Structure 1
Amino acid sequence: MIGVLVTFTQPDKFDRSTIAKIAGELREPFEGMAGLRLKAFTLAEDGVHARNFYVWDDEEKARAFFTQEIVDKVTGVYGVPPKIEFLDIAGLVDNSGT
């Protein structure tokens, strides 16, 4: 299992409604995506950082997803290029089934 943290930094601050709109418009392609367990669209309290957090069951699929084409696409959507970090998930608590 691998996590991916994608961070967009906007010094002028992101608007929460803009991030919510992006989440709504981009949700569908991720539903049922092979190897992807979950994705969260988030906004830091300071409004400067929008972060997308992914949990993948398949590291190969996770790494293959983040192509230059995807980076270019999300740069256009968010207006700034992302910083992409791959994280080893040592353990996970998932209460979604309860």
Structure 2
Amino acid sequence: MIGVLVTFTQPDKFDRSTITKIAGELRGPFEGMAGLRFKAFTLDEDGVRARNFYVWDDEEKARAFFTEEIVDKVTGIYGVPPTIEFLTVAGLVDNSGT
């Protein structure tokens, strides 16, 4: 498994309702996506950083997803370019089935 942390930093702060709207509008394409275990849309307390966290079943699919085209698209959506970090998932607790 591999995690991917995509961070958008907006010095003027993101509006919480805008991030919630983005999450609602963009969740559909990710539902049932091959190789994607889960994705979370987040906003930190101060509103400066919106972060999307992905867990993929394999690194190849994760890296293949983040094309230049995708980066350009999300830059347009969030208004700022993201930083993308690939992380080893050493373990995962999933309580969604309980």
Given the two structures, how large is their TM-score scaled by the length of structure 2?
0.99
CA distance in 2, matches of 1:2, 1:74: 21
Distance 1:57 1:26 in 2: 21
Runs ≥4 residues deviating over 4 A: none
Matches of residues 24-63 of structure 1 in structure 2 within 5 Å?
A: 24-63=24-63
Partners of 1:7 and 1:81 in 2: CA distance: 9
What pairs with 1:1-98 in structure 2 (closer than 5 Å)?
1-98=1-98
Question: CA separation in 1, counterparts of 2:80 and 2:60?
Answer: 26
Ranges in structure 1 where 5+ consecutive residues have no aligned partner: none
* TM-score normalised by structure 1 residue count: 0.99
Question: Deviation of residue 58 (structure 1)?
Answer: 1.5
Provide the rounded CA distance (Å) in 1 between the counterparts of 2:38 and 2:16: 21
Count residues with an aligned counterpart.
98
Please list the CA deviations of residues 34-90 of structure 1 after superposition, one character each: whole Å capped at 9, or x if unmatched.
000000000000100000000001111000000000000000000000000000000
Distance in 2 between residues matched to 1:37 and 1:97, nearest whole Å: 13
